[in-house]
């Protein structure tokens, strides 16, 4: 087994220039070629008479060249006429090399593969694949695979490289025989051989059928590799050491006494789960999920108090300065009266303040430190960090797990997210985490009414803003996202602010955007929080976490440009108080199909889990996870929507394989993951 893997792991034996191109396809080790599977297949097993070939599908024809010419108008192109016993066909090449002219000498016998269509001058093929043959050259016996490729790597080159590895590499099983038998899986070697060089009896549609046993085998193996690596990550963590954190309950009681509300049953439940983890001697990695507004912050605060009671420090990290600042205010408000020190650390702090915060962290005088990424940068030391809390974890990307090791011990981690993770994703990419869910909203919330409004009716919207303010409520007005240009986005926000301030003269209108300095942003947020500003014009910087319960109207311009998660987050900024809340989604025609689908979903649903599920359907898991940014490789063959049964089987069997056949697990991971990024970056 080890020997087989050694060969498989060898780098490709090709010239450096080609190696560089193959690298772009993710082809580095010899075994990578085995897993480079066809996108589709072409049928070169059958020759059609020219006039009997069907239109609109790839066909192979053969004929003798009767004429060729290079035309210069309307653009340079090569025209070749071939003829068989049934009739004549025009081959048209817009791009061609001088060498191709030679191939088409009059009288040459040529095979052309392509789609025939009716052209102005009769039947033609545009850019067929051609080769010169001699009379009676045998046809392919089976379908020809077509591989994903890049410029400079032709299909014949790939076929040759792959064929040679299939012949020379041993392809042993990595999974234990009992697992293969139990799931009635095709053997790995048979599966890859079948897909690379299908036997003659297979049709192209059979081969692209996801239920084909060969595809099932590859998908299962891939999902199994993912499950094994996730379980190993989970195990490694459970073998790590963390401080045992048990609180006295004294500070918690004091906070409970000061809160104007009682916890919901769901908040109590998740707090119990967190407490149980904290009391263990290995690090907690728990994901706390709860829809927008479900009250995660207070749960974080209560968890922090337990750690503080036990003599530890707590760090709370948020993805944006605005959110971090808001948490700092809220948590100071709760904790300072209990005699605790809450510090604040962000990238934009002045040197003096920063030094003070760092000193408080290092000396241990700070009980809780709130901040942005700056919290976990080099040169930041805690005296005794016991718990790290990450808010809006999904904003940091799926692969991000904080590396917080210090002095042989790792603090506990609580990750919070309002972007619910559909079950399949939770079972795959988040499988190394324990998950708690707050599945109920605090009582007394009135549901948000969502309206879709054509932007031509903007005046009516402005009237409604006025009415809302007259009733003592506040309004968010979110400016369009302009991805191409931050400057343009800024201009739009400034212009919208100017217009609304002019139209709504009796109200105070504030402006918030990403280019403002941190203290300016904080000042605007504070003014909005205390109702000195009734209307807040903002870019999407307010997307996450901002909590102003008196705001009851959210207007979003160009909602069609935004993603579902973003719309759900923005809408969740209202509906936090007892007033009836409205979210107005302004859109501009024409709408793309995707935009239409998204607006329909957000209009029809309030439940974040359902929205996330639909989002996954519309976008696919790659974008859903934000994995492009985080660099986590996606599944190549398996698909979380369709292959749920395979995923469940892999999840169920992974622990058993690890326990009973650890060498098999190693070999399997080596085959699927070595040379590639891990599924998870810890
Ligand atoms: P999210 O889960 O989106 O982070 P927050 O923690 O910001 O939500 O909570 C939303 C609002 O609900 C806050 O104003 C918070 O103080 C309030 N809240 C939290 N828990 C309760 C509860 N049990 N009853 C009433 N209000 C609550
Ligand atoms: Mg929050």
Question: Residue 586 maps to which CATH number?
Answer: 3.40.50.300
Ligand 2 geometric centre to CA of 464 (Å): 28
| Residues 295 and 317 reside in one and the same domain | yes
Q: Determine the pLDDT at residue 193.
A: 96
Residues 672, 676: Cα–Cα separation, whole Å: 8
Instruction: Write the pLDDT tens digit of every residue in 38-96.
Output: 988 988 999 999 999 999 888 999 999 999 999 888 888 999 999 999 999 999 998 88
Residues 583, 600: Cα–Cα separation, whole Å: 14
DSSP state of 106: T
Q: Determine the pLDDT at residue 402.
A: 59
| Residues 531 and 453 reside in one and the same domain | yes
Total domains in the fold of the chain:
4
| Residues 544 and 466 reside in one and the same domain | yes
Ligand with smallest separation from the Cα of 394: 2
User: Which residue, by CA, sits nearest to atom 4 of ligand 1?
Assistant: 296
| Residues 456 and 588 reside in one and the same domain | yes
Instruction: Write the pLDDT tens digit of every residue in 575-611.
Output: 888 789 999 999 999 999 889 999 999 999 988 888 8
- Answer with the one of 389, 414, 438 that is the final residue of a domain: 438
Residues 308, 368: Cα–Cα separation, whole Å: 8
| Residues 327 and 347 reside in one and the same domain | yes
Helical segments of 94-212, H only: 98-103, 155-168, 177-182, 188-196, 204-207
Ligand with smallest separation from the Cα of 420: 1
Cα distance from N-terminal residue to C-terminal residue, the chain: 28
| Residues 28 and 152 reside in one and the same domain | yes
- Answer with the one of 605, 639, 663 that is the final residue of a domain: 605
Q: Determine the pLDDT at residue 456.
A: 95
CA neighbor of 206 nearest in space, from 141, 138, 129, 142: 142
User: Which residue, by CA, sits nearest to atom 1 of ligand 1?
Assistant: 293
| Residues 18 and 60 reside in one and the same domain | no
Please report the atom of ligand 1 found closest to the CA of residue 547. Answer: 7
Q: Please identify which residue in the block is written with the tokens 């790290």.
A: 388
Token readout for 340 is: 């605790």
CB 343 within 8 A of CB 418: no
Q: Confirm whether 639 is domain-assigned.
A: no
We report the CATH number of the domain holding residue 101 as 2.40.50.140
SS3 616: helix
CB 385 within 8 A of CB 313: yes
Q: Determine the pLDDT at residue 405.
A: 54
CB 513 within 8 A of CB 496: no
Q: Determine the pLDDT at residue 397.
A: 54
Token readout for 396 is: 């940091």
Range of the domain at 530: 448-605
User: Which residue, by CA, sits nearest to atom 9 of ligand 1?
Assistant: 295
Percent of the chain with pLDDT over 90: 59
Q: Confirm whether 575 is domain-assigned.
A: yes
| Residues 549 and 480 reside in one and the same domain | yes
Count of helices and strands (H, E) across the chain: 25, 21
- Answer with the one of 187, 209, 231 that is the final residue of a domain: 209
In terms of average pLDDT, the best of 298-307, 434-443, 534-543, 555-564 is 298-307
Identify the weakest region by mean pLDDT among 40-44, 157-161, 617-621: 617-621
SS3 477: strand
Q: Determine the pLDDT at residue 544.
A: 66
Ligand 1 geometric centre to CA of 537 (Å): 24
Q: Determine the pLDDT at residue 92.
A: 93
CA neighbor of 133 nearest in space, from 62, 83, 79, 58: 62
Ligand 2 geometric centre to CA of 547 (Å): 8
Given a cut of 90, is residue 538 above it in pLDDT?
yes
Q: Determine the pLDDT at residue 517.
A: 85
Given a cut of 80, is residue 560 above it in pLDDT?
yes
Token readout for 586 is: 């302004």
Q: Confirm whether 276 is domain-assigned.
A: no
Q: Confirm whether 633 is domain-assigned.
A: no
Residues 554, 450: Cα–Cα separation, whole Å: 9
Ligand 2 geometric centre to CA of 266 (Å): 16
Residues within a 6 A CB radius of ligand 1: 261, 263-264, 267, 290, 292-298, 418, 442, 545, 547, 549, 576
Q: Determine the pLDDT at residue 447.
A: 83
| Residues 515 and 374 reside in one and the same domain | no
Residues in the chain: 682
Q: Confirm whether 476 is domain-assigned.
A: yes
Residues 424, 565: Cα–Cα separation, whole Å: 17
| Residues 420 and 310 reside in one and the same domain | yes
pLDDT band at residue 248 under the 50/70/90 scheme: very high
pLDDT band at residue 675 under the 50/70/90 scheme: very low
Percent of the chain with pLDDT over 70: 93
- Other CB atoms within a 10 A radius of the CB of residue 39 amount to 10
Q: Determine the pLDDT at residue 407.
A: 55
Given a cut of 90, is residue 511 above it in pLDDT?
yes
In terms of average pLDDT, the best of 90-99, 393-402, 422-431 is 90-99
Please report the atom of ligand 1 found closest to the CA of residue 294. Answer: 2
Q: Confirm whether 336 is domain-assigned.
A: yes
Q: What is the DSSP string of 436-466?
A: EEE-SPPTTPPPPEEEEEEGGGHHHHHHHHH
Q: Which residues pair with 585 in a beta bridge?
A: 452, 556
Identify the weakest region by mean pLDDT among 259-268, 347-356, 484-493, 521-530: 484-493
Range 603-620 average pLDDT: 83
Ligand 2 geometric centre to CA of 459 (Å): 33
Q: Confirm whether 630 is domain-assigned.
A: no
Ligand with smallest separation from the Cα of 576: 1
Please enumerate, as own/partner, the contacts of 462-470 that have beta carbons within 8 Å and a separation of 24 or more: 462/500, 462/503, 462/504, 464/553, 464/582, 464/584, 465/500, 465/504, 465/535, 465/553, 465/555, 466/504, 466/507, 468/552, 468/553, 468/582, 469/504, 469/507, 469/534, 469/535
pLDDT band at residue 678 under the 50/70/90 scheme: very low
SS3 617: helix
Instruction: Write the pLDDT tens digit of every residue in 198-234.
Output: 998 998 889 988 899 999 999 999 999 989 988 888 8
Identify the weakest region by mean pLDDT among 144-158, 163-177, 378-392, 403-417: 403-417
Given a cut of 80, is residue 333 above it in pLDDT?
yes
Q: Determine the pLDDT at residue 482.
A: 72
Ligand with smallest separation from the Cα of 318: 2
Q: What is the DSSP string of 74-93?
A: SS-EEEEEEE-SS-EEEEEE
Q: Determine the pLDDT at residue 1.
A: 45
| Residues 28 and 157 reside in one and the same domain | yes
| Residues 595 and 452 reside in one and the same domain | yes
Higher pLDDT, 672 or 582: 582
Token readout for 555 is: 């207007």
Q: Confirm whether 231 is domain-assigned.
A: no
Given a cut of 70, is residue 117 above it in pLDDT?
yes
Q: Determine the pLDDT at residue 394.
A: 67
Q: Please identify which residue in the block is written with the tokens 């948490």.
A: 327
Given a cut of 70, is residue 261 above it in pLDDT?
yes
Ligand 1 geometric centre to CA of 547 (Å): 8
User: Which residue, by CA, sits nearest to atom 5 of ligand 1?
Assistant: 295
């Amino acid at each position: 087994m080890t020997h087989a893997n050694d060969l498989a792991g060898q780098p490709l034996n090709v010239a450096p220039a080609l190696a560089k191109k193959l690298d772009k396809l993710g082809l580095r080790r010899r075994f990578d070629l085995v897993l480079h599977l066809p996108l589709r297949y072409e049928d070169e097993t059958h020759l059609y008479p020219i006039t009997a070939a069907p239109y609109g599908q790839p066909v192979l024809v053969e004929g003798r060249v009767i004429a060729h010419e290079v035309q210069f108008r309307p653009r340079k192109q090569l025209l070749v006429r071939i003829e068989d016993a049934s009739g004549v066909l025009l081959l048209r090449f817009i791009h061609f090399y001088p060498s191709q002219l030679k191939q088409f000498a009059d009288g040459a016998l040529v095979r052309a593969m392509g789609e025939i269509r009716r052209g102005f001058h009769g039947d033609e093929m545009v850019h067929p694949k051609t080769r010169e043959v001699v009379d009676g050259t045998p046809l392919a016996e089976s379908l020809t695979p077509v591989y994903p490729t890049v410029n400079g790597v032709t299909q014949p080159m790939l076929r040759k490289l792959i064929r040679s590895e299939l012949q020379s590499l041993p392809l042993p099983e990595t999974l234990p025989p009992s697992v293969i038998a139990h799931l009635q899986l095709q053997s790995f070697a048979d599966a890859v051989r079948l897909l690379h060089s299908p036997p003659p009896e297979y049709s192209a549609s059979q081969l692209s059928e996801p239920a084909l046993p060969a595809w099932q085998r590859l998908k299962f193996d891939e999902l199994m590799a993912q499950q094994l690596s996730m379980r190993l990550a989970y195990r490694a963590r459970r073998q790590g050491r963390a401080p045992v954190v048990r609180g006295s309950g004294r500070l918690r009681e004091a906070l409970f006494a000061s809160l104007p509300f009682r916890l919901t049953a769901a908040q109590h439940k998740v707090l119990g789960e967190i407490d149980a983890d904290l009391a263990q001697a290995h690090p907690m990695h728990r994901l706390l999920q709860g829809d927008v507004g479900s009250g995660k912050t207070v749960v974080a605060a209560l968890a922090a108090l337990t750690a503080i009671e036990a003599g530890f420090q707590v760090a709370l990290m948020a993805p944006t300065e605005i959110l971090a600042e808001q948490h700092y205010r809220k948590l100071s408000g709760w904790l300072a009266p209990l005699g605790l020190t809450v510090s604040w650390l962000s990238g934009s702090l002045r040197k003096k303040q920063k030094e003070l915060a760092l000193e408080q962290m290092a000396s241990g005088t700070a009980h809780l430190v709130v901040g942005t990424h700056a919290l976990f940068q080099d040169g930041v030391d805690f005296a005794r960090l016991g718990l790290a809390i990450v808010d809006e974890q999904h904003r940091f990307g799926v692969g991000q797990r904080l590396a917080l090791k210090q002095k042989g011990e790792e603090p506990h981690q609580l990750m919070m997210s309002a972007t619910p993770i559909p079950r399949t994703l939770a079972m795959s990419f988040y499988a190394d985490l324990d998950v708690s869910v707050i599945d109920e909203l605090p009582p007394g919330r009135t549901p948000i009414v969502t309206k879709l409004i054509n932007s031509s009716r903007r005046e009516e919207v402005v009237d409604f803003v006025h009415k809302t303010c007259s009733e003592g409520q506040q309004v968010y007005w979110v400016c369009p996202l302009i991805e191409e240009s931050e400057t343009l986005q800024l201009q739009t926000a400034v212009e919208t602010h100017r217009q609304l301030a002019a139209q709504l003269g009796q109200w105070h209108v504030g402006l918030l955007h990403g280019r403002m300095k941190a203290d300016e942003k904080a000042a605007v947020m504070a003014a909005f929080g205390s109702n000195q500003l009734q209307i807040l014009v903002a870019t999407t910087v307010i997307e996450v976490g901002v909590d102003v319960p008196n705001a009851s109207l959210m207007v979003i311009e160009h909602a069609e440009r935004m993603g579902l998660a973003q719309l759900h987050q923005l809408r969740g900024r209202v509906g936090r108080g007892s007033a009836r809340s409205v979210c107005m989604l302004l859109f501009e025609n024409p709408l793309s199909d995707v935009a239409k689908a998204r607006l329909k979903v957000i209009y029809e649903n309030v439940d974040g889990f359902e929205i996330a599920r639909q989002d996954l359907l519309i976008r696919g898991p790659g974008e859903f996870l934000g994995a492009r940014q985080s660099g986590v490789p996606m599944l190549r063959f398996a698909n979380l929507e369709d292959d749920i049964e395979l995923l469940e089987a892999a999840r169920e069997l992974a622990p058993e394989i690890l326990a009973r056949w650890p060498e098999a697990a190693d070999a399997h991971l080596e085959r699927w993951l070595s040379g590639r990024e891990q599924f998870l970056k810890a």
